[in-house]
Chains A and B, each alone.
Chain A
């Protein structure tokens, strides 16, 4: 749990992998996921690296897998997920897998090809029979051709070359979409020399390629002349028509039809046999493919990782460089030793010093993961920076709950989250693919806490589905008021509104033990009372939260050894924040404690006091809260304003001074010091990554010794302006706590009044309460979940997110790091 507070120590390690054992070592590392490798061959293009041949073979294999997978999918089958733990196969297995895959693919291709050609033949036969089947029922073409043109032509042929003029036929089938174009082209190209008749097939035929049923247009063209015939054939070719021989005699056609039917029957049997064989092959593919896919993917990943290694001078081993958590170093060493023991030479790992900023590694469990996710979504922390996530675990649900305070709604949310938490180990829940569900599921612990806190704040606000609960008896007594002020019946009848005066003895018995007194829910001034309370509460929470953020910065400064920033940044910031807004909080609490109901009439206004504090003036009507208040206020304002120049100039001037002193020192000592710093790597690893402005003048860093005062000044000026203005605007920003909790309370109040209460009233009036209440409650329940839980919950979530990201984290968190992403197979297995 200690690692939650800041990221773990990460070291740059160098791995010497003997060439013979490099592959096994790397695949072991992939299984464990310990090291993030750095690309040592960045200058070498992808296809000039050492293992590019192996990678290419893996890719080719994957291509074949793709083909097999596609075939399986086309057959409407699913590949089962691979079972068990599959290690990356030894390199020699690649050949075996490749051979088997190729054989399988070849077999599949053959069978598929056979099936295709058989289907095409069948299709052809079916089309032919369709054409013939319709041919004899063509009323236009056949009698016309037979009767008129051939036997008794209208004009006597003039003899000569036209003697052998006779009618010929072309019959065939064409896709319906092309039929119109074909007809037009035929007419244009050989008008007057042909008669064409088109008609749709009655049955739908299966397309041989896609397998989808489609209708075709059959046509019968009768024409005169040889040349026209050639033209027609060319045109039909161009439209990819299927053209069939057409026997003129009807008996001939019938016998052909008979033959065709018989042929297609036989063909269908053969086709069935082929398809049976195909399913067999596909079954084999289904069984073998998934494990292979995983194995080859792992193998490819290993080779890609090996491609990032450089080769040692002697070609005996590969050198890899990478980031690894210091805690994992012994494991890493052990793994390397184990996996290279067969090779005789053992792989070695050792730490090397470095100047680059190491990646950030924060280990999470299923509880902290969602909170860390909230922080990481803003920005991954710098190496070893204070991690806001552990504090977020409490503050986030709490700030959410302040805006979402309702016992009933909180309980629903809590139960929903609890159900998810209890069912989290069920495979059906885990593997659900729905994206929205996954979002909720991954944030289940967050929801759980949010629900719990909402129940708590709900009790504070005393609201359960907008109704007040009376767990304890109210601190106000109406009876006492009535007896003391002698309310007569006529007085009561005339005044619909009555005032309870806490100054009358016996009316106010003392504060309610926990939360808001339920009597307020009956009062007309309920809202103004709550507003005052919630507004002040928001400011108090906000100032506390921000102060906490500034204090967290202290740990950063201490950890990075930047003591000057403690004095020159954190201290002025704290004084500024607490002197102005901390004082405001003090005034609020002081007034709560010290001004009682008795002196309510002459109670001082905090707002006026606070404004006067900045103006250094006073208003005679506004009573002082405590003696000496004006002196205290003046001192605080002057102190706070005096902190602005300190904050603005302190760090830059200090760094400037430090730089001058360093440069004045004799240069003879410099190399020694540099060397000792490099060797003392654990020291540099901590000190080297201060905040951004440190980069410009980092102590002991010869490359970065270039100190530019103006840049540092500029940076600090931005920071100062941001902080000082931010204090004001951020405090105001926390008022969203008040606004949203008000909105939530009012919305649920409205829902109750408009739906549930009217339902109850209707039920009572008509005497059919149960019947009316069923639909009314259904509406109430749906609206509660949809609007109050989901919509309002989302908006409260967003605002809590904003308060954390902007108001809280900008006080100390830079979030400019990058995550440690170790080389691992787990992501690839998904």
Chain B
């Protein structure tokens, strides 16, 4: 790309950037969260959300209100916004949007395959699929029995196709293989997305690359954490790590050898970025989980993305922030509906 995005960025993407910044301003504020936490019932939550930019998005829901209804409606709202962005975007922003949807598509495909494995009906699973990752051929996923089958029949025309090159195999799709497939897909997806942003250069690369590096490293940590005590071999584990993060290559090698949380923590200690995160993790009772700490860090990075102009990172950041906000609302709503008020304050504040 040529230098000097500020000269021509607005010609193609100025409208959308303005729009997304406006949308970002509609994120719930600290005061909103304080009010939400005080709610007694889900109806109160609904009334409070009506005073925010969510408006009466729940107006058409019949009683009784449930958390899942709120969640679905919020997702639909996000999806509508995203679709609007996407329909008004030009290249290369539209490719960027496609990359953004890919992660949801991977999740949906895996979800459907898992569902098929457990002999659940497609309709039941479809409700759980994220609307951002919806595509036409999605429901046909369960006709495939091996990954190459899946690729050849179903996914060859979708944007997911390029990520499949590493995971073509004739293994039957059992639970472990599906999980491996997911991680491999995600790895090559992240690497491709990272490469796209890097090649795009400019502010977009400066903003997106750190975010994606963090995402890659987070996955590496999470994969390691989840593989403790499973039959996954260390070599297999290493093949799942995305290689575009800060941990690559030495950190990943060390991580592959890790056998428990403390060893993992020792690996993280070598990195200035991750050391404070692991230090913030509480031990067992009380304190934050590793996941929450990662979420907080992600929110922080995404909020900072809005400090620069003329880049695509704002779209990514907005979507992620909105997702975090939805997770927060769902958390609060769950706490309210289950009368579990002690933990209600452990949402991730968006600053």
Contacts and interface: CB of A to CB of B under 8 A. Distances in A.
Contact of B47 (A46, A63, A234): A46
A238 interface: yes
Interface stretch (A180-188, A273-281, A405-413): A180-188
What's the dominant secondary structure at chain B's contact region? helix
Interface in B110-157: 122, 136-140, 142-143, 152-154, 156-157
Given A45-B38, A238-B137, A189 B143 contact: yes
With most chain B CB atoms within 10 A of its CB, the pick from A63, A66, A185 is A185
Measured as residues with beta carbon below 8 angstroms from the partner, the interface class of chain A is 10 to 19
A188 B47 contact: no
Contacts of A189: 140, 143, 153-154
Contacts of A73: none
B291 interface: no
A53 to B, nearest CB: 11
B47 A47 contact: yes
B39 to A, nearest CB: 8
Interface string A220-245: 00000000000100110111000000
A355 interface: no
Contacts of B35: 45
A144 interface: no
B59 interface: yes
Given A63-B59, A189-B140, A231-B143, A47 B157 contact: no
Interface string A455-497: 0000000000000000000000000000000000000000000
Contacts of B86: none
B48 interface: yes
Contact of B140 (A46, A66, A185): A185
Contacts of B136: 178, 181, 239
A231 B51 CA distance: 49
Contacts of A239: 136, 139-140
Nearest to B47: A47
Nearest to A62: B59
A222 to B, nearest CB: 19
A63 B38 CA distance: 26
B143 A181 contact: no
B168 to A, nearest CB: 15
Contacts of B259: none
B139 A237 contact: yes
With most chain B CB atoms within 10 A of its CB, the pick from A46, A47, A184, A188 is A47
B179 interface: no
B44 interface: yes
B122 A46 contact: no
Interface string A48-80: 000000001000000100100000000000000
A235 B157 contact: no
Given A63-B59, A237-B122, A185 B154 contact: yes
Contacts of A234: 140, 142-143
Interface in B25-63: 35, 38-39, 43-44, 47-48, 51, 59
A47 B142 CA distance: 48
Contacts of A63: 59
B58 to A, nearest CB: 10
A315 B44 CA distance: 25
Nearest to B40: A47
Contacts of A66: 59
Interface in A17-61: 45-47, 56
B44 A47 contact: yes
With most chain A CB atoms within 10 A of its CB, the pick from B143, B154, B156 is B143
Nearest to A66: B59
A63 B137 CA distance: 37
A234 B38 CA distance: 48
Contacts of A46: 47-48, 51
Contacts of A184: 157
B137 A181 contact: yes
Contacts of B138: 238
Interface in A184-198: 184-185, 188-189
Given A45-B35, A188-B152, A235 B143 contact: yes
A45 B32 CA distance: 11
A238 B44 contact: no
A238 B139 contact: yes
Contacts of B48: 45-47
Contacts of B157: 181, 184
Contacts of B140: 185, 189, 234-235, 238-239
Contacts of B39: 47
A678 to B, nearest CB: 35
A57 to B, nearest CB: 12
Interface in A328-345: none
Given A47-B44, A47-B48, A238-B122, A185 B153 contact: yes
A181 B59 CA distance: 36
A108 B157 CA distance: 45
A99 to B, nearest CB: 17
Interface in A225-269: 231, 234-235, 237-239
Interface in A81-120: none
A235 B153 CA distance: 11
Interface in B136-194: 136-140, 142-143, 152-154, 156-157
Interface string B249-285: 0000000000000000000000000000000000000
A188 B138 CA distance: 15
Nearest to A187: B153
A264 to B, nearest CB: 28
Nearest to B63: A60
Nearest to A177: B136
Contacts of B38: 45
A47 B336 CA distance: 16
Contacts of B59: 63, 66
A235 B136 CA distance: 11
Contacts of B142: 234
A16 to B, nearest CB: 30
A690 B99 CA distance: 63
Contacts of A178: 136
A303 B138 CA distance: 50
Nearest to A236: B140
Nearest to B140: A238
Contacts of B153: 185, 188-189
B263 to A, nearest CB: 45
A182 B122 CA distance: 18
With most chain B CB atoms within 10 A of its CB, the pick from A45, A56, A234, A238 is A238
Contacts of A45: 35, 38, 48
Contacts of B156: 188
A234 B137 CA distance: 11
A181 B154 CA distance: 10
Nearest to A60: B63
Contacts of B152: 188
B159 to A, nearest CB: 15
A811 B47 CA distance: 48
A513 to B, nearest CB: 64
26 contacts: A45-B35, A45-B48, A46-B47, A46-B48, A47-B39, A47-B44, A47-B47, A47-B48, A63-B59, A181-B137, A181-B157, A184-B157, A185-B137, A185-B140, A185-B153, A188-B153, A188-B154, A189-B154, A231-B143, A234-B140, A235-B140, A237-B139, A238-B122, A238-B140, A239-B139, A239-B140
Interface of B: 35, 38-39, 43-44, 47-48, 51, 59, 122, 136-140, 142-143, 152-154, 156-157
Interface of A: 45-47, 56, 63, 66, 178, 181, 184-185, 188-189, 231, 234-235, 237-239
Can you list the 8 inter-chain pairs with the closest CB atoms, starting with the nearest?
A: A238-B139, A189-B153, A238-B140, A188-B153, A234-B143, A47-B47, A47-B44, A231-B143
Given A178-B136, A234-B142, A237-B139, 16 more contacts: A46-B47, A46-B51, A47-B39, A47-B47, A56-B43, A56-B47, A181-B157, A184-B157, A185-B140, A185-B153, A188-B152, A189-B153, A231-B143, A234-B140, A234-B143, A238-B138
